[in-house]
Amino acid sequence: MDKMYLFLKKNRLRKKWTIYKRIWMLSMDWTLLFYVIVFLGYIGTVMFLEGDVLQVFRTYLPKLDAIGAEKFSYILIALPMAYTLKSFRQPGILFSLSEKKLSTLPYETMRIWFVLALERWAKAAVVFTGVGIIYYLLSNTTGIVIFMYIGVLILMNILMTIVEWRLFQQSIWIKIGCFCLLLGVFMLQIFLVSPWIAYGMVVVLLLLQIAGYKRVNKHVDWDKVTMAANYKVWNMPIVSQVTKVSFKKERKFSIWQQRTFWKQSFSFQKDTLYHRLWYIYLE
């Protein structure tokens, strides 16, 4: 399974690299690129030699050491709200059509999902750690505080994985209800100013993660999941900007076709045919 997944990822990256390379060769002027690099190099050298660039960054970047436990608890509540908003458009796990075809081979769907979850967590760890290191070099914040923030960001990314996966497949009203519930918890935190509210939310998310792990592949709308994942994987804004061709999601069924009426067994009677045609005309 691991070798097949790495083979899939390698060929996907190779295909993207080929597309970007062609776009680069068609749209880039090498002479202009050379002068831009020389100009930016000159500006950077002057700034580095004439002024203390690091001191300028350290003056304007906020020092995170001043944020206490009360402020820190706000972050623990705000992050689930951000992931809940994200679940309106993406499932969090990029289970595209290619990964779905892997499940038709002798590979378990649960194992494929877990590998994709590990990829999500690894990407988050790399990105958050890289940003933390840059922030540590450019600011006066101590390393232990930045390490705590990195740990919280990675932890919330892990705890919201299954929640985001299940919320994406729910109706719009359930998503809005969950967001309003989190918003209410955030307002409660503002009035009470108690870190135990945020800690309690972390415990609830942990229990949801444990309870939902064995049911991640049950009652899944795979068409909706793969459609959103394909758009996320193959949506390349640079290519769309150069070619003037936007990458769009696959067309969903209309609101009429989602009704229970359309899913019932069709009776080939004259009156039934006329009734069905009226729906089509109205649409």
Predicted confidence (pLDDT) per residue in 233-281, tens digit: 888 777 777 777 676 666 555 555 556 655 666 566 777 777 777 777 8
115-132 mean pLDDT: 91
Contact indicator for 281, 66 with CB cutoff of 8 Å: no
Each residue's pLDDT tens digit, 9-22: 788 888 888 887 77
pLDDT at 181 exceeding the cut of 60: yes
Q: Is 194 part of a structural domain of the chain?
A: yes
The two three-digit tokens of residue 27, written as one number: 């749209």
Q: Is 24 part of a structural domain of the chain?
A: no
Q: Is 264 part of a structural domain of the chain?
A: no
Each residue's pLDDT tens digit, 44-62: 776 666 556 556 556 656 6
- Number of domains the chain contains: 1
What percent of the chain stands above pLDDT 90?
A: 8
**What's the pTM?**
0.74
Angle, in degrees to the nearest 10, between helices 161-168 and 143-159: 40
Q: Is residue 123 very low, low, confident or very high in pLDDT (cuts 50, 70, 90)?
A: very high
Query: Residue 200 sits in which domain range?
Result: 52-242
What is the structure's pLDDT at 61? Answer: 62
Q: Is 261 part of a structural domain of the chain?
A: no
What are the two backbone dihedrals, phi and then psi, of residue 94, each rounded to the nearest 5 degrees? -80, 70
